[in-house]
Amino acid sequence: MPEAVVEWYAVDGAVEFQASRTDDHVMGLDELGLPYCDDDYVAAGVLLISNENQDCYTLVVPLDAGPNPPVQLMDPFDLELREAVARREPFADSFSDYVQACVRDAAGR
């Protein structure tokens, strides 16, 4: 698992904080890396971190992109998972950038 993701999930209350700022399903520590909707994201090379509340997109991080991987958007609900993984789009340059944006957004509320 990427180091930046491990660090974020190790912060007490971090995931709960992130989940409280959105209606999206933020993966809890007990869900991280497990299959979701019968799809094995880890086997497809990505870690699912969030699912949009209307199933329009998911946010993933590639497992082979170093300690602070980019966050990518994908739409696996209209496609087979492997095809969706191949069609990922950029969302944040790094997981750290994604977390910082979440914190900034929450501070602006």
Q: φ and ψ at 68, to 5 degrees?
A: -135, 70
User: How confident is the model over 15-33, as pLDDT tens digits?
Assistant: 888 888 788 888 988 999 9
- DSSP SS3 for 25: strand
C-alpha span between 90 and 108 (Å, rounded)? 24
Q: pLDDT in tens for each of the 109 residues of the chain?
A: 899 999 998 998 888 888 887 888 889 889 999 998 888 999 999 999 999 888 888 999 999 999 999 999 998 666 677 777 788 899 999 999 999 888 887 776 5
Q: φ and ψ at 25, to 5 degrees?
A: -90, 100
Task: Give the predicted TM-score (pTM) of the model.
Answer: 0.87
DSSP state of 38: T
C-alpha span between 56 and 100 (Å, rounded)? 23
